[in-house]
Amino acid sequence: MATVALRDVRKSYGTNAVIHGVSIEIADGEFIVIVGPSGCGKSTLLRMVAGLEPITSGTIEIGGRVVNDLEPRARDIAMVFQNYALYPHMSVFDNMAYGLRIGGIRGAELRARVEQTAAMLELTPYLDRKPRQLSGGQRQRVAMGRALVRGPAAFLLDEPLSNLDAKLRVGMRLRIKDLQRSVGTTALYVTHDQVEAMTLADRLIVMNGGVAEQIDTPMRIYLEPATTFVAGFIGSPAMNILPAQGTEQGVLLGAVPLALGRPAPGRDVLLGIRPEDLTVAPEGEGLPLTIRAVELLGADAYAHGEIAGGGEMVVRVPGKKALSPGARVGVLPAPGLAHFFDPATGRRLP
């Protein structure tokens, strides 16, 4: 158990900079999720914390100690890999015991620790099996067990659930959260799945192109995304982001005045409204929308349409009241839930 701190950590491969300075102070026992699209540098960041990848500049501290130049084994971390990386020729027991044995733990204590961890993960019946005799979900648990059994200062997990099918993934997600809570170990968890990110994190790091766009609690990121990228990435379906103009009363979207917030009059802004913050009204009220397609999910439906004057918009409607393509309706944004961004920088406007 330990705090982890990154201070302006950067990484370049040759002249190609892939991490442009990430800083975060992580409290002891905190669950941090690093989320972002593929190729944005999540794994690289995690691997730098693990010590598998040298950092180009900045400092990384684990438990108050600068670990920049330490080998992974000296950092007291445990890692779960996306493909699990179990030792194929070792039994489940030996896979879990390997790190402990290297650490000099033998005999009864070794057996007790492995068995206790195996019991926690319901792996006891499989201790003698080889990894290839296990299902995907069981292998995943062995990988978790190998990390847990060592009782490290921090867990590092790189997309640990992405090779599981959807149902197992949900189950394991809850379980990982429970396990982490019960052992109280600091965790850094990488995923590209925003649902995983929202449900697991105490705090989220939303990354894009090697930059940490926003670091905050999931709910604050949802309610106050710092950039258009974060606004579009967190939340499903993505937030509607449309160019608009400030007026004395609110904003002008196309030719329609809307009483929403108050950017400086005359100023060009990007207006963001989540599909769930829009309600459908009869034609003539609010923003006119022509429905083009409807995704019906059961409880909800997402109506994709085109607003007058150009621009696409998605509206969440109850599944029972699903609209049909071609319908013309009005949509009303919920007051107070609109977001404004600077069109030049993409940053949130106060």
Ligand X SMILES: Nc1ncnc2c1ncn2[C@@H]1O[C@H](COP(=O)(O)OP(=O)(O)O)[C@@H](O)[C@H]1O
Q: Which window, 25-33, 35-43, 129-137, 299-307, contacts Mg ion (CB under 5 A)?
A: 35-43
d(CA 54, CA 225): 31
Concatenated DSSP letters for 135-161? -HHHHHHHHHHHHHTT--SEEEEESTT
Q: Are 313 and 240 in contact (CB under 8 A)?
A: yes
Binding of another protein by 134 (CB under 8 A):
no
d(CA 340, CA 350): 8
- Which strand ranges, in their side-by-side order, compose the sheet holding 154-158? 77-80, 154-158, 186-191, 31-35, 203-208, 211-216
Q: Do you find a cis peptide bond into 237, omega within 30 degrees of 0?
A: yes
Residue 164: CB minimum distance to Mg ion, A = 16
d(CA 8, CA 293): 45
Binding of another protein by 52 (CB under 8 A):
yes
For ligand X, the binding residue among 41, 218, 261, 346 (CB under 6 A) is: 41
Binding of ligand X by 182 (CB under 6 A):
no
Residue 38 interface partner, choices another protein, ligand X, Mg ion, none, CB cut-off 5-8 Å depending on type: ligand X
- Number of residues engaging Mg ion in binding (CB under 5 A): 1
d(CA 260, CA 4): 41
Residue 81 interface partner, choices ligand X, Mg ion, another protein, none, CB cut-off 5-8 Å depending on type: another protein
**Which DSSP helix (H) or strand (E) runs through 279?**
strand 278-281
Task: For another protein, give the closer residue by CB, 53 or 342.
Answer: 53
For another protein, the binding residue among 16, 38, 107, 132 (CB under 8 A) is: 132
Task: For ligand X, give the closer residue by CB, 105 or 205.
Answer: 205
Q: Which spans in the chain are helix H? A: 42-50, 72-75, 92-102, 107-120, 136-148, 166-183, 194-200, 218-223, 228-233
Binding of ligand X by 43 (CB under 6 A):
yes
Give the x-and-dash track for 11-30 against ligand X (CB under 6 A).
--x----x------------
Structure tokens at 286: 């609010």
For Mg ion, the binding residue among 22, 36, 43, 188 (CB under 5 A) is: 43
Query: Which residues ranging from 53 to 82 are in contact with another protein (CB under 8 A)?
Result: 71-73, 77-79, 81-82
Residue 337: CB minimum distance to Mg ion, A = 33
Residue 334: CB minimum distance to another protein, A = 46
3-state helix, strand, coil in the chain (%, to 5): 30, 35, 35
Q: Are 339 and 223 in contact (CB under 8 A)?
A: no
Binding of another protein by 106 (CB under 8 A):
no
User: Token match 């600068």: residue?
Assistant: 66
Residue 274: CB minimum distance to Mg ion, A = 28
Query: Which residues ranging from 80 to 99 are in contact with another protein (CB under 8 A)?
Result: 81-83, 85-89, 98-99
Task: For another protein, give the closer residue by CB, 146 or 274.
Answer: 146
Q: Which window, 31-39, 118-126, 148-156, 248-256, contacts ligand X (CB under 6 A)?
A: 31-39
Residue 162 interface partner, choices another protein, Mg ion, ligand X, none, CB cut-off 5-8 Å depending on type: none
Task: For another protein, give the closer residue by CB, 88 or 350.
Answer: 88
Binding of another protein by 121 (CB under 8 A):
no
> Comparing C-alpha atoms, which of 61, 281, 45 is closest to residue 159?
45
Residue 162: CB minimum distance to ligand X, A = 11
**Which DSSP helix (H) or strand (E) runs through 188?**
strand 186-191
* Dihedral, 158, 232, 237, 165 alpha carbons, nearest 10: -10
Would you tell me which residues interact with another protein (CB under 8 A)? 50-52, 71-73, 77-79, 81-83, 85-89, 98-99, 102-103, 130, 132, 146, 150
Would you tell me which residues interact with ligand X (CB under 6 A)? 13, 18, 36, 38-44
